[in-house]
């Protein structure tokens, strides 16, 4: 928890952690009480064995967190997979608690459209082993930024991989992959204002995925220049301004 003011929930993306918001959080903490969890099965949280890591567990975790948050409307910002998580959470919670959320800001949301593609046994473990390779981690980190030559150094690469040292990282990620993850979860949209920001140089979210999401949302959203798949890192100040309605 960080800052003071109306509560604001920040949700990170796939195989990531709360550190995603290291640049945006100080800007938003001026006006909000920030709640920035590591999603269940990700980040630096515990990963006990034998747990069915997947979307239902993530949503259950966030519903429990929401019960501990102050009463009244909560704002929510979701990045990449976190955007899909935010949509599902808002849709489910608002059915029982109208007015619990005020609005959503989705940053390059992934998983709103498409179909779940659960990885079968063995392939899930091979996928995790691939993601653990240092060269792959460095490549994915660089691919996420608009201009890796100037934005990515040893520190950024280290931050992007710190959570891999958490016990159970590989087993939990493999189990999540077997679940199919958050895919095709955008419809129906929750009944509240939704704002979307995209990066002009996003090299992770493919064009067809973005266009399908825009069609579902009924709004092209705003494209930020000099921005990759991580608007909250590439253009943190602009994201904070847009949240404030500027």
Tens of pLDDT, residue by residue over 79-117, are 999 999 999 999 999 999 999 999 999 999 999 999 999
Report, as an integer, the average pLDDT of 42-61. 97
Specify the pLDDT at position 56.
98
Tens of pLDDT, residue by residue over 157-211, are 999 999 999 999 999 999 999 999 999 999 999 999 999 999 999 999 999 999 9
Which run of H or of E encompasses 206?
A: none
Residue 16 has pLDDT above 80, yes or no: yes
Q: What is the chain's mean pLDDT, rounded?
A: 96
Specify the pLDDT at position 187.
97
Report, as an integer, the average pLDDT of 56-81. 97
Query: Token pair 């909560």 is at which residue?
Result: 74
| Nearest one of 3, 67, 57, 80 to 35, comparing CA atoms | 3
> Cα–Cα distance between 73 and 58 in angstroms, integer?
21
Record the tokens describing residue 35, joined without a space: 């709640």
Whole-structure pTM over 0.75, yes or no? yes
Q: Is residue 59 very low, low, confident or very high in pLDDT (cuts 50, 70, 90)?
A: very high
Residues whose CB is less than 8 angstroms from the CB of residue 218 and which lie 6 or more positions away in sequence, other chains included: none
Residue 246 has pLDDT above 90, yes or no: no
| All structural domains of the chain | 7-243 (3.40.50.1820)
Specify the pLDDT at position 195.
98
């Amino acid at each position: 928890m960080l800052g003071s003011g109306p509560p604001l929930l920040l949700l990170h993306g796939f195989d990531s952690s709360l550190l995603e918001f290291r640049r945006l959080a100080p800007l938003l903490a001026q006006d909000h009480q920030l709640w920035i969890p590591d999603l269940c099965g990700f980040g630096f949280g515990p990963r006990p064995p034998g747990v069915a890591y997947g979307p239902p567990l993530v949503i259950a975790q966030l519903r429990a967190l929401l019960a501990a948050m102050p009463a009244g409307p909560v704002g929510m910002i979701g990045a990449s997979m976190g955007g899909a998580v935010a949509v599902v959470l808002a849709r489910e919670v608002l059915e029982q608690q109208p007015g619990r959320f005020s609005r959503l800001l989705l940053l390059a949301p992934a998983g709103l459209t498409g179909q779940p593609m659960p990885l079968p046994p063995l392939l899930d473990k091979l996928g995790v082993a691939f993601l653990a390779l240092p060269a792959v981690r460095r490549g994915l980190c660089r691919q996420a930024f608009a201009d890796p030559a100037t934005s990515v150094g040893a520190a950024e690469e280290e931050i992007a991989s710190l959570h891999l040292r958490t016990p159970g990282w590989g087993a939990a990620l493999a189990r999540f992959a077997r679940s199919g993850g958050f895919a095709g979860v955008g419809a129906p949209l929750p009944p509240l204002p939704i704002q979307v920001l995209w990066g002009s140089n996003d090299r992770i979210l493919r064009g067809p995925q973005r266009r399908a999401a825009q069609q579902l949302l009924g709004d092209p959203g705003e494209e930020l220049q000099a921005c990759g798949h991580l608007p909250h890192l590439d253009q943190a100040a602009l994201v904070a301004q847009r949240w404030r309605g500027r």
